[in-house]
Structure 1
Amino acid sequence: MSSYKEHPTFQRPAEIELIRSMSHRKLTARENKRLDKYLQGPPSSKDAFIIKPAADWLETENDTHAGKLFGDFWYQGELCIMFADTNVGKSILAVQIGDSLSRGIPIPGIGGDRPAEKVLYFDFELSAAQFKKRYSSDLQGNYRFGPGFTRLVFNPDADGARKFATYADYLNNAIENVLITSGARILIIDNITCLRSSTEAAASAVALMSKLQAIKSQYGLSILVLAHTPKRNPARPISRNDLQGSKMLINFTDSAFAIGESQTDKGLRYLKQIKQRSGTQVHGADNVCLCRMIKPNNFLHFDICGREPEARHLLHYTEQQRKANEDRIIQLHDQGLSLRAIVAETNSSLGTVARLLRRLEKV
């Protein structure tokens, strides 16, 4: 009868040695804790849930405070959405944020102190010519972006979509491929409307946001998504209800902020926090961040110029009424009505109607 002879270099795993020793003596409290840890083991990737005692979640390895990517508006590890009306400057601010992060230089007036990082900017809005116009000038030439800032656009000749069940699956796969090959961990997507894969824009956008949240967790990303707002009432403060398609998009984000237009100072914009998880609300309705678009050389960007309550930049109700009345006067005048007929229709004075029409004739 042959006997088993251990290999001289053979060493059993620690958990096996613990189990073997159980038949000879009682385990110490420390050994019991080690054995429990080994028996629990890591969760299977096929399991629906990751189960750990609440206390263990507080002892996560490398648990550090999330750094600020764009002041108090966007933190590291967040899926953030920035929304505004058309032609307010979403893309301009997004490029400015990406350039700042890729250089490791904070935007003046916003703050932050981070090393330079690779940034992927998915641009589905501007053509190459439009992009060049914003970031070049006759005197200064082309703006010199840092090597860590990469702009991506749709490839019109790509035919890989037919290999996937849906267009959304194709896009998700393409984004993951770029992440793996580039090593970047910061994404800016301009904008979510261009990525919808069906006629049901709201449902498609929600599905995409859900997938982005999953990709973010899987690869440890920070993602900024741009979105439009429909025509809104300029007399009302900006809220999550202004997000185009579905306010449910906010539910899939960690943070959100909006760009508003001042109704009392032409050309002035303001940034307002709408949702925050990692930080506190610093730029709410009582303290929005004021800014203007400027291009002193070859880089179109936002210049931060102060803080004020949002109420100071909303359209007052009386002013809104006046503008609506003027629009009605112009409409009736274009229809050929006489001054007196317009006065009767709009309940305005003859002098008010006459002054408005004279002013229009001079334009």
Structure 2
Amino acid sequence: MNKVKVNHIKKAIEEDIVRNISILETDELSKDCLIVKPANKWIEEAKKRPIPNMLFSELWYEGELSILYADTNVGKSILAVQIGESVSSGIPIDSFKLEAKAQRVLYLDFELSDKQFEKRYSNEFTNHYQFHPNFFRAEINPLAKIPKDFKNMEEYLCSQLGTLIVKYQAEVVIVDNLTFLNNDSEKAKYALELMKQLKRITKECHTSILVLAHTPKRDESKPISMNDLAGSKMLINFCDSAFALGFSQHEPSHRYIKQIKQRNTEHIYHVNNVIICCLEKQQNFLQFRFLYYDSEINHLRNPSKTDLEERDDQMKGMIQEGMSNVKIGEALGISEAAVRKRRKILGI
């Protein structure tokens, strides 16, 4: 046996030993609540994994658990299906970014029946839209019985999700919507458990998950904030990113997309730079079409004098407490510039 071949075998054995040691360490660590390693080791291990690519501009990246939320009938499901079809085909939505390769998408549809879905993606039940083969849709089996090991359908579904991801080789999962998965999602303790389960799935299955959620009735004269999301504190804490949809109060056919939380990028689509779109159906595909960027303020309901007076009183109280303009803006759901402008008008 020549020296080159011996060295090759030796190197392969060494690599195998290192790999087995790593597996043993991982198994041991998985039993503990916290995983502790030197900071440099964390970085070295992270360097071996690919940099997350954009799935929907800077709003959603690979490997993230993201939340899209809005009021009823704004178009959450329409946008979610459009994103799913984009990712499954590898073709970006016009004026939005898609860095990832084409991936298998599993869309859990708890909103529409198959007939309603057919109507939305056809021309009055004719000339049906042809989705990419990578796009899979699932709905509840009405004949399914909940095994005794599970308390309810929601718990059973979460346990099945990992199996479905493996079976259909899904890299992206879209859940439409959170209200079905847990009818008590407005209660923090249930929302916390649900988000923990979904977060665990993103890690264990190396999957990107987008969850759709409703907002309770909100004041449409104020900018959308994380406080508008039902069960917001727990849900926002456990997701990696979040974005919201809003109605334009001055142009009924227009919607806007606003970035609420981000970890892989800067805050780009904020109150002064939301994405304005319109809803349109091109033959057999209902979709969002990009129009322009604008300030969210231009699309809110004009507040009454009473609304302004109430906000002014709140602002005065916060100023007396020594809060900064930035903190006041966050509390009132307006920009820091709007706080400065209002303070100048009021002479405070």
- Return the TM-score normalized by structure 2: 0.78
**Other-structure match for 2:68:** 82
**Other-structure match for 2:295:** 309
1:5-16 mapped onto 2 (5 Å cutoff): none
Q: 1:132 to 1:166 in 2, by over 3 A?
A: closer
Q: Residues of 2 paired with 1:144 and 1:40: CA distance? A: 44
1:120 aligned onto 2:101: no
1:50 Cα deviation from its structure 2 partner = 2.2
Given candidates 35, 57, 82, the residue that maps to 1:50 is 35
Q: Residues of 2 paired with 1:184 and 1:143: CA distance? A: 22
**Other-structure match for 1:210:** 196
1:184 aligned onto 2:170: yes
Q: Residues of 1 paired with 2:160 and 2:60: CA distance? A: 25
Moved more, 57-66 or 265-274: 57-66
1:222 Cα deviation from its structure 2 partner = 0.4
**Other-structure match for 2:342:** none
1:1-363 mapped onto 2 (5 Å cutoff): 42-43=25-26, 44=28, 45-60=30-45, 61-138=47-124, 141-196=127-182, 201-318=187-304
Specify the SS of the correspondent of 1:42: helix
For structure 2, the 5+ residue unaligned runs are 1-12, 308-348
Q: Residues of 1 paired with 2:214 and 2:154: CA distance? A: 20
Specify the SS of the correspondent of 2:255: strand
1:140 Cα deviation from its structure 2 partner = 5.9
Q: Residues of 2 paired with 1:39 and 1:122: CA distance? A: 35
Q: 1:308 to 1:200 in 2, by over 3 A?
A: closer
Q: Contact 1:192/1:205 (CA < 8 Å) preserved in 2?
A: no
For structure 1, the 5+ residue unaligned runs are 1-12, 18-33, 322-363
Q: Residues of 2 paired with 1:238 and 1:199: CA distance? A: 19
Amino acid of the residue matched to residue 249 of structure 2?
A: Q
Q: Residues of 2 paired with 1:55 and 1:282: CA distance? A: 30
Q: Residues of 2 paired with 1:190 and 1:40: CA distance? A: 36
Moved more, 116-125 or 154-163: 154-163
1:306 Cα deviation from its structure 2 partner = 0.7
Q: Residues of 1 paired with 2:288 and 2:241: CA distance? A: 21
Q: Contact 2:146/2:152 (CA < 8 Å) preserved in 1?
A: no
Specify the SS of the correspondent of 1:97: helix
Q: Contact 1:140/1:297 (CA < 8 Å) preserved in 2?
A: no
User: Any idea what the Cα deviations from partners look like across 1:127-174, whole Å, max 9, x if unmatched?
Assistant: 111111110004961100011100000001111333325544312221
Q: Residues of 1 paired with 2:97 and 2:184: CA distance? A: 39
Specify the SS of the correspondent of 1:283: coil
1:267 Cα deviation from its structure 2 partner = 1.3
Specify the SS of the correspondent of 2:209: strand
Specify the SS of the correspondent of 1:260: strand
Q: Residues of 2 paired with 1:221 and 1:192: CA distance? A: 18
Amino acid of the residue matched to residue 308 of structure 1?
A: D
Q: Contact 2:69/2:243 (CA < 8 Å) preserved in 1?
A: yes
1:231 Cα deviation from its structure 2 partner = 1.0
Amino acid of the residue matched to residue 216 of structure 2?
A: P
Q: Residues of 2 paired with 1:308 and 1:186: CA distance? A: 30
The percentage of aligned residue pairs carrying the same residue is: 45
Q: Residues of 2 paired with 1:268 and 1:320: CA distance? A: 27
1:113 Cα deviation from its structure 2 partner = 3.1
Specify the SS of the correspondent of 1:63: coil
Q: 1:204 to 1:100 in 2, by over 3 A?
A: same
1:41 Cα deviation from its structure 2 partner = 5.8
Q: 1:129 to 1:41 in 2, by over 3 A?
A: closer
Q: Residues of 1 paired with 2:88 and 2:82: CA distance? A: 10
Moved more, 65-74 or 47-56: 47-56
Q: How many residues align?
A: 293
Q: Residues of 2 paired with 1:142 and 1:38: CA distance? A: 54
Q: 1:198 to 1:242 in 2, by over 3 A?
A: closer
Q: 1:139 to 1:172 in 2, by over 3 A?
A: closer
1:47 Cα deviation from its structure 2 partner = 2.5
Amino acid of the residue matched to residue 42 of structure 2?
A: W
Amino acid of the residue matched to residue 42 of structure 1?
A: E
Q: 1:202 to 1:193 in 2, by over 3 A?
A: farther
Q: Residues of 2 paired with 1:39 and 1:123: CA distance? A: 39
